[in-house]
Amino acid sequence: MRAGLTFRFPKKAEPYAEALRRAGVEPVLISPEAPRPLAGLDGLVISGGSDIDPARYGEAPHPTTNDVDRERDAMEAALIEQAFETDLPLLAICRGLQLVNVVRGGTLIQHLENTETHRVKNVAEVHRIEVIPGTRLAAIMGTDSQMVNSRHHQAVGRVGAGLRVSATAPDGVVEALEDPLKRFAIAVQWHPEERIDIGAHDRALFEAFAAALG
């Protein structure tokens, strides 16, 4: 089984690639420097990274919006659209969740006023999320409160068409989205790739993605 893995910087792609390998999936690296279509791949993983260009959702940049990577935005948006069109299993992480929402016509909150709980410095620092019963994510992770790690100052604003919220933080920030009509289309705001040896629910997310590829 082979899944495309998008990224900008090779070093930052390594934890995602390792998590996929541990789940039995061969990562196929895709970057703006080495783009490729999804032909011949069994799934797609959109990794974390810099802020998305606010022009994509019709807004001017907030003063805190930085490191916009329009080349990567365009590449990944096209791949996400292709994955949705062909019902290719899709797992989107952090920036990936935000771009999935934007591709579906949603918006982003460009800066969270209270980012302390959403910008942890290492994998041991976590915050709580509530997984919504009846969602695909709940079937994978369970409906109990879960502890996750995240590093973001932006978040989902208006939810994109066809997406439903599947987890939230105590402060109301959207922590996961999914498309219930697709074979596997899950996006999470946290970084499960960093905690596959610590959190069983994070490991289960990659295992469920791998199962969908078969």
Kindly report the CATH number assigned to the domain that includes residue 145.
3.40.50.880
Name the pLDDT band for 111 (thresholds 50, 70, 90). confident
Average pLDDT score over the chain: 92
Strand blocks (E) in the chain:
2-6, 26-30, 43-46, 90-93, 108-109, 127-131, 146-148, 155-156, 164-168, 174-178, 185-188
- The residue range of the domain holding 180 is 2-213
Q: What pLDDT is recorded for position 136?
A: 97
Residue of 76, 94, 152, 178 marked active site = 94
Residue of 191, 194, 201, 207 marked active site = 191
How many domains, in total, are found in the chain? 1
Q: Are 5 and 20 in contact (CB under 8 A)?
A: yes
152 is catalytic: no
Q: Are 185 and 137 in contact (CB under 8 A)?
A: no
193 is catalytic: yes
- Mean pLDDT value of segment 107-132: 73
Residue of 76, 178, 193, 194 marked active site = 193
Whether the per-residue pLDDT at 144 is higher than 70: the answer is: yes
Name the pLDDT band for 122 (thresholds 50, 70, 90). low
Residue 29 β-bridge partners: 5
Cα–Cα distance list, 62 to 89, 109, 112, 129, 154 (Å):
33, 10, 11, 27, 11
